[in-house]
Each structure stands twice: as C-alpha cells, then as structure tokens.
Structure 1
Amino acid sequence: MANYRVFLCSLGLAATLFSCKNEEKKKETEENKRPNIVFMMSDDHAYQAISAYNDKLINTPNIDRLAKEGMLFNNASVTNSICAPSRAVILTGKHSHMNGKIDNLSKFDTTNVTFPQLLQDAGYQTAMFGKLHFGNNPKGFDEFKILPGQGSYYNPKFMTKDGDTVIDGYVTDIITDLTLNWLEKKRDPEKPFLLMYLHKAPHRAWLPAERHYKEFTKKEFPLPETLFDDYTRIHLKANSPEFTSQKKNLEQPKNRKSTAAKTAEMNILTHMILTNDNKLTDSVVKKLGIKEPYLGDPTSRMNEEQKAAWDKVYSPINKEFAENYHEMDDRDLMKWKYQRYMQDYLGTIAAVDENVGRVLDYLDDNNLSDNTIVVYTSDQGFYLGEHGWFDKRFMYEESFKTPLLIRWPNKIKAGITEEEMVQNLDFAQTFLDVAGVEAPDEMQGKSLVPLLKGEQKAWDRDAVYYHYYEYPAEHAVKRHYGIATKEYKIIHFYYDIDEWELYDRKNDPQELHNIFYDPDYSEVREEMVQKLKEVRKKYKDSEKLDKQFIKVYEDK
C-alpha cells in the first residue's frame, strides 16, 4: 500500500513537472510569436485635435488610450505634407524624390516594393480598409476595400478585387464595420496579420455624422493666438544698426513678410468656401451677393432621410448667417468661418475616436492585444486656424508635425512620451523589424523598435528632412525643402523665389521670427545651411533632381 502511495505521488509529481514544462514552452512560444500589426491612420488629423496632445479643442479618450497604454511621440513629422505622397513614403520607406510620388498628380510607380508585399511574402495575412488615395489595386494585400480618390462621407463607393460597391451609411462607421468583419470572420488565426485601417476623416469638406453635428454645431472654440497673423517674419527695423550690419553679409530681404506665407491660398477668411466648407447653401450665398468658387453640394450623396436630418440643423445656421452677414466686418467673418470650420472638422474626429475605440475593444475582448502592435497617426498635420490657415503643405510646425501614438504590450512601457525625432519614413522599416523581415537596402528610414523598447542611446538621428513639390497648384504653397533639429528649423523656398527662413523651435514655437538674417544667429545659420547640404546628400536629393521634377511638372 505504501509503495502504491509512493507511485501515485511520483505520478502526480511527474504530471506537475510535465504541465509546468508545457506552460513554459507555451509561454516561450507566445513570446516568440510574430506580432500582429494594426496601422490606424486618419487623413489630415491635426495633433492639436487629439486630447493627449492638446485638450483645448476636443476630448479623444479612445485615441488617448494608446498614449496611456503605450507611447506618445512629441517630435513625429512627415517628409512631404500632402496626402498621396505621404502614403507613398509610408508604404515604400523612401522619400518622395526616391519613390517618384512627389505630388497628388503624379502616378505611383508600382515597381516600388512596399512593406505590405514583404510582410505578405513572409507569411502575414494582409488587409486594407478605407482611404488609400491612389491606385485601385494595392499590392501586397489579400483583401482590400478602398475609397476611390478622396471618397465620400455619406453612402460611399468602395473599390474591391471583385469590383465597385456602394455601402449605405457614414464612412467612418462603415470602414470600421468592414475592419471588424474581417477580424471576426476572415482572419486566419494561425497567421500573424497586417491590418491597415485608414480613415477618410477629417479630410475636407468635413461632414460629421448626424449624432455629432447635432452636438458640435452648438459648440464654440477658443481662437488661435495667430488667427490674424499678417506674416511679418523679419522684425529688424530698416534703419537699425543691426539691420545695417546684416546687409554687409547677406542680401537685404525684399520685404519683411514671408513671401511664401503671404501668398499661400489657404486663409480661412479669403480662401475657405462658404458653400463647400462652411455648409451655406448656394442660394443663400447668391442672394447675399457673395462671389466665390462653387465646388458643388457636399451633401449630394445623402439620401432623403439623411438630408432631412442635415437640413434640420444646418438650415437655421444658414438663416442666422443671412440675417447677420451685412453687419459683419472682416474680423467678424473670419471668426464665424473659423467656428463653422472647427464645428464640422472636430465633429468628424469624434466619429474617428469612437470607432478607434471599437477596434481597440475588439482586440482586447478577443485576446489579441498582447501580441499586437497598434499605431495611430495621420498622413500629415493640419492647420486649425493657426496663422489664419486651414490645409497643410508647409514645413511650418502645424503641417509638418503629425500625431503618433503606439501601443505594444510587454514591449513598450505604458504612459511614455518620446522626444526623439521620427518620421513617417520610418514606418516601413519598423513593421519589417517587428516581423523579423529584412528591410531592402533602398529604404531610407530607421526602425523605431529601439525607441519603443526604451533604448534611446541606439537612436542617432539629429535632423529630419522635408521636401514639398506641388507648385504651382491648389493652395499655392511654394516649393521648398529643409531640415529640422530639436532646436532649429531651416527652410529654402525655391523655383520662382529664392528665400530662406530659419526658426528657433525652442524660443519661437509659433515660428513668427525668421532669424536667418539676424546677426545674433549667424553661427547657427552657417551650421544649419551646412547640415542641410549634408542631409540632402545623405538622402540622395539634389538641385539636379529639383530641376528634373520641375521640368516634368511644367511639361504636364
């Protein structure tokens, strides 16, 4: 009997040891399992409109979750602040001059190798839902449903491998429905996945969902400090000793305003359209004798029920404006247009935040979060009235800086803020790195993995490069290139002008003082000019390429 008890005890001990070894092996397998990748990107989502960055405009609790549970980047930027080129940079890991997609007009060279192709080849299941902006058959995806071009907010059309389809409803909700349906019904649980979840919102013309425009049209928002900026950037007095001495070393600026800033066509007062952007009806605008371009009715895709709900809220806005318009001066009109802009723009973001929450909840509820890296970003920054502007394109801060929040449980320490300089150029190599896939030599970014793991000493980048090409074109932002360090930013505007701007990012965050001609900053100027030359060479950009791209543009 005693021997039998010993036998049972031995058997129990063996079973326990076997179970422990299995658990250890299972844990080791889970830890070494290639992570899933969820890439969330909105279109024109300003970092100022995410409460993790700025809580003065809107509360975004679901996007903020990624900051609380992961890492928020304070120095993330883009290489070319315009939609399609930004997406090409993200997919290829190469600057615009290297991948060929310099503007929204040029075709994307499909011989470029993209990171989704490489992940698919490495065994990842891949899917894309939402707005790509260019192309109708993106390479490297097992499944996609993408909007044609800009897409529509209401009852949008989607392109698929099987042809076009129209889906009734609100675009932000629909993109999320498609995404969740794929996760629930089409995902292969035996494979890691890459999921690109790409929103149209908050792109112009900013049509919120009914549940949000009812709320946001009642809100009033604080005015930006620089809403009435006159674009004066050189503040040395013409007869001052400082100005006289700087003339000996540099050609005197033709004027004290920034030519590029003052000639850009994105001012809320003069360039924002009352019908398309501010949602006045064409009949009201004509009745008031206002002459402006007419881009069509932004609500034209709404069905009768949707349009009736819209009119119930926006008709009183039209009526009130018509009653008060002739009493408004330019400042009054600027303020009115700004409030209308913010109400609709931020209303579209409310839907984005809600739907990001739906995806995060699904990952949590289905035990996918622990082995999934989630990225939230925008294709570029955006002006929310700063300097009187809407839109993007400039290397100035609100356009250049982009939101970036990343969650990766067990890899990223929760609640961390990162100050190192990163760009959308880095996404391709980051995703390949986390998947254990070797990046092609021609990719020009850097994997963010060392930063995500808290290894800042391994990060050796001290400047990021920017180049904007789409001129002459919509919004009339002149061609320019430049670099930014944590302390300074230098910009060279070229093509039809030859002007330089230099800003002290620490002491002049609003970029109101061009110190390029300031003798007190002569050493900084020389250092930044030299560093710009070195960075241009590093990324294989040059005056020769500038001229080639200008010729291609002019020949169109």
Structure 2
Amino acid sequence: YYKDQMIEKNGGPAELVKGYSTDNYTEWALKYIRGEEGRVADKPWYLWLCYGAVHGPYTPAKRHQGEFSAASVETPADIYPPREGKPAYVRDSEIWVPGPNGEPVMKKNPKKSLADAVRQYNEGVLALDEGIGKLMATLRETGQDKNTLVVFTSDQGFGWGQHGFQSKLAPYDATIRSPLIVSFPGRVPEGQVCGQPVGGADLVPTFFAYAGIDLPWDMHGHDLSAWLKDPAKGDGNRRVVLTALTGSSYGKDCDAVPTSEEQAKLFRGNSVPWWVSWREGKYKYIRTLVAGEIEELYDLEADPEELDNLALKSGYRDTVLNYRALVIAELKRTGAKMADALPPVAELPGG
C-alpha cells in the first residue's frame, strides 16, 4: 500500500513505481487537475482519487515518523471483555490485553501497544492532509474551485480498541462510520453540519444531480443535493440509512443467510457475522444475522460510544419491534430475498 508499488496505467503492463504511494497519487492527481495528463484540458472531468493510506500496515511517510510520539491516547471503555449487552462475537472477543505496564497491547503481538498503534495510524494521515491541501490549492490556482464538487470520504472507519476491536466491519460507528466533507463554493454553504444520516449509496445519485444528468438505471441511494444546499431542511423527507454486511457474498449468494459457521468459512474466517442496521434520527438498530442472537438499539445522542444496549430494557420493546419491522420491509423493498427467512432473534425483555 505504501512503497515501491506495481502500477498499471490505462490497461498497460504493470510497472514498478518507486516512492511513497500517498505522495505519488497526489502528484498524479495534480497533473490531472491541471489538464497535463490523463484528460482533455478544456472538457469537464471526474476524478476518483483513492489513496492506499491509511490502510494497514499504517506506514507514515519518513518525514512524519515520530510526529505524535508524545501524544496521549485514550483507552476505550470497553477494550477488554466481557462486554455485557453485546452479541457473543463482540462480548467475548479478546484482541487486547493489559501489558506489563498496564497499557493495552495486542494479544497476538504484545510488543505493539494501543498507544503506539494509534500514534502511527495518525502519523500516516499527515501525508493525506498535505496532499489534499495541495489538491484544493491547485483547484483555486487553476480557477476551477468554484466549478468543482469536492467530496472527501472513505470506505469505512477502523476500531482501535472500541468494543475490543482492531478492525473494521462491525456495525458500530467506531468501525464503520466514514467522514463526509463536501466543498462547492457558492453552491454548498461553508462551515455547516447536516445531522441527517447518509450512506455511500447516496453519492452517485448526488453526482448525477449536480451534473444535470438523469440516472441511467434505477439505483439505490438518494440525491443529497437539497441537504447540501440547506443542511437544516433539505428536501423535507425523513432520512434513514439501511446498512448490511454480508461478508464476501453478493447478489444471489445473499438470498439466504448462512449459518454462523458457514459465514466464517465464506468470509475467510473473519469473526464478524452478517448483520443489518437501521439508522434514523438519534437511534441505531442492529440485528446480527445469527440464530438466537440479541438485537441492539443505541441512542447515539446520549451514548455516542454505543455502550448501553437499550434493546435489553423493557421500556424500549416497542421501539425495537418497530425498527425490526422497518428493516424487514426495507430489505424487501430493495429486493433482498433473505428478508423472508432471517435467523430468529432472542426474546426481548417484557415479552
């Protein structure tokens, strides 16, 4: 991901490219923006710049190594088991253990402390900060900034000790929530925050809307342009996001939910089973697709760390039942055949 990569250009043979990948990708993007390479200079363009950073092994540029060596790192509240109120795969997981000095270290690699890992990860972000700064400056220098929609996001988050994880994929904000920052001078107000939940599937319809092009086929996701224009009111419709993890299975392979043992084999032994979640307003509902497993409900305003599972409290029974039904209805609406045979859930309190 970082050094001396084999790179293909325009379908040609792969060639070895020396240097730090984040810096290389930035330089290629700058040439593209200036119209020097890869596009016709006087025609509209689209650029998807997908950096390798900060994927594992989280290698910072040499100039940034040690930049955060003195930074303090907070230990998440539920880094160690047991984690009551969580599904079994979360409750009993033991990836982190106390080290010789009491600090969290990785069980499989006790020489690597949580603090060292988090510092290194953030040092790897610094080259991204520099590169994106150069891209934005080049848009201004070339007079393209006011006619360019810029979206900064990522594929998912990454858990550093939250709920015991050192990974992505689980349905918690620490492990899947992505940044979404949008810039379009004169078209998108600066310095404002939209509190509505959105998903990656919303980006493509939004791009088509800003370009004034009809969608070529029916797509999941919704145009966000009204919410970007007015983050407080948007288009007046209720915003919800349905998210699902089905391992490495797609399409017809998701028509039925495999057993937990089958899921582990299909997903290269990964410990995170299939799940679906529903995000609306302040609530997040999660259903782990393993027979007999508990459901989860979190108030993200009162409990942003997702530590208190309200689904286990009798006073939230009706809320859980409502979201359970909404998830099934949305799965059916979007053509997910597994909605007809989801694994049974554990009985709710007060039932």
Q: For the superposition of Structure 1 and Structure 2, which TM-score range results when normalised by the shorter chain?
A: 0.7 to 0.9
Does the 8 A contact of 1:377 with 1:404 survive in 2?
yes
Give the residue type in structure 1 aligned to 2:123: G
Question: Match for 2:298 among 489, 493, 503?
Answer: 503
How many pairs does the alignment contain?
316
The residue aligned with 1:183 is: 33
SS at match of 1:163: coil
Question: Match for 1:220 among 42, 64, 71?
Answer: 71
Q: Which runs of 5+ in 2 are unaligned?
A: 248-262, 343-351
Q: What are the superposed Cα offsets for residues 110-158 of structure 1, whole Å, 9 maximum, x if unpaired? A: xxxxxxxxxxxxxxxxxxxxxxxxxxxxxxxxxxxxxxxxxx3111111
Q: Aligned partners of 2:55, 2:104: CA distance in 1, in Å?
A: 25
Instruction: Tell me the CA shift for residue 329 of structure 1.
Output: 5.9
SS at match of 1:516: helix
Q: Aligned partners of 1:365, 1:545: CA distance in 2, in Å?
A: 55
Over 3 Å counting, the alpha-carbon distance change for 1:439 and 1:347 in structure 2 is: same
Question: Match for 1:407 among 180, 183, 186?
Answer: 183
Q: What are the superposed Cα offsets for residues 188-236 of structure 1, whole Å, 9 maximum, x if unpaired? A: 23211001111000001111110011423x23322134253434334xx
Q: Aligned partners of 1:511, 1:231: CA distance in 2, in Å?
A: 15
Does the 8 A contact of 2:198 with 2:239 survive in 1?
no
Question: Match for 2:331 among 526, 536, 540?
Answer: 536
Over 3 Å counting, the alpha-carbon distance change for 1:541 and 1:159 in structure 2 is: same
Select between 368-377 and 331-340 the one with higher mean Cα deviation: 331-340
Give the residue type in structure 1 aligned to 2:195: E
Q: What is the percent sequence identity of the aligned residues?
A: 24
Question: Match for 1:426 among 185, 195, 202?
Answer: 202
1:262 aligns with 2:91: yes
1:467 aligns with 2:318: no
Question: Match for 1:481 among 276, 299, 306?
Answer: 276
Over 3 Å counting, the alpha-carbon distance change for 1:508 and 1:215 in structure 2 is: closer
When you count helix as a share of all residues, which structure comes out higher? 1
The residue aligned with 1:346 is: 122
Q: Aligned partners of 1:329, 1:496: CA distance in 2, in Å?
A: 40
Instruction: Tell me the CA shift for residue 427 of structure 1.
Output: 0.9
Q: Aligned partners of 1:545, 1:344: CA distance in 2, in Å?
A: 45
Instruction: Tell me the CA shift for residue 459 of structure 1.
Output: 4.4
SS at match of 2:46: strand
Give the residue type in structure 2 aligned to 1:222: V
Q: Aligned partners of 2:22, 2:281: CA distance in 1, in Å?
A: 35
The residue aligned with 2:48 is: 196
Does the 8 A contact of 2:149 with 2:182 survive in 1?
yes
Does the 8 A contact of 1:176 with 1:355 survive in 2?
yes
SS at match of 1:169: strand
Does the 8 A contact of 1:231 with 1:258 survive in 2?
no
The residue aligned with 2:345 is: none
The residue aligned with 2:349 is: none
Instruction: Tell me the CA shift for residue 383 of structure 1.
Output: 1.2
1:207 aligns with 2:59: yes
Q: TM-score, normalised by structure 2?
A: 0.83
Question: Match for 2:4 among 152, 155, 162?
Answer: 155
Q: Aligned partners of 1:432, 1:206: CA distance in 2, in Å?
A: 34
Give the residue type in structure 2 aligned to 1:476: S
The residue aligned with 1:144 is: none
SS at match of 1:179: helix
Does the 8 A contact of 1:429 with 1:446 survive in 2?
yes
Q: Aligned partners of 1:264, 1:469: CA distance in 2, in Å?
A: 20
Instruction: Tell me the CA shift for residue 164 of structure 1.
Output: 0.7
SS at match of 2:67: helix
Q: Aligned partners of 1:173, 1:369: CA distance in 2, in Å?
A: 22
1:165 aligns with 2:15: yes
Over 3 Å counting, the alpha-carbon distance change for 1:459 and 1:546 in structure 2 is: farther
1:443 aligns with 2:272: no
Q: Which runs of 5+ in 1 are unaligned?
A: 1-151, 235-256, 271-324, 548-556
Q: Aligned partners of 1:332, 1:423: CA distance in 2, in Å?
A: 33
Over 3 Å counting, the alpha-carbon distance change for 1:457 and 1:223 in structure 2 is: closer
Over 3 Å counting, the alpha-carbon distance change for 1:514 and 1:227 in structure 2 is: closer
Instruction: Provide the aligned C-alpha RMSD in A.
Output: 2.4
Does the 8 A contact of 1:467 with 1:480 survive in 2?
yes
Question: Match for 1:365 among 121, 130, 141?
Answer: 141
Does the 8 A contact of 1:213 with 1:343 survive in 2?
no
Over 3 Å counting, the alpha-carbon distance change for 1:330 and 1:539 in structure 2 is: farther
SS at match of 1:155: strand
Larger radius of gyration: 1
SS at match of 1:178: helix
Give the residue type in structure 2 aligned to 1:410: G
Does the 8 A contact of 1:493 with 1:500 survive in 2?
yes
Give the residue type in structure 1 aligned to 2:73: P
Over 3 Å counting, the alpha-carbon distance change for 1:175 and 1:545 in structure 2 is: farther
Q: TM-score, normalised by structure 1?
A: 0.53
SS at match of 2:305: coil
SS at match of 1:525: helix
Over 3 Å counting, the alpha-carbon distance change for 1:332 and 1:363 in structure 2 is: closer
SS at match of 1:450: helix
The residue aligned with 1:126 is: none
Instruction: Tell me the CA shift for residue 501 of structure 1.
Output: 1.6
Q: What are the superposed Cα offsets for residues 37-59 of structure 1, whole Å, 9 maximum, x if unpaired? A: xxxxxxxxxxxxxxxxxxxxxxx
Q: Aligned partners of 1:233, 1:504: CA distance in 2, in Å?
A: 17
Does the 8 A contact of 2:73 with 2:118 survive in 1?
no
Q: What are the superposed Cα offsets for residues 312-336 of structure 1, whole Å, 9 maximum, x if unpaired? A: xxxxxxxxxxxxx8xx166454696
Does the 8 A contact of 2:54 with 2:121 survive in 1?
yes
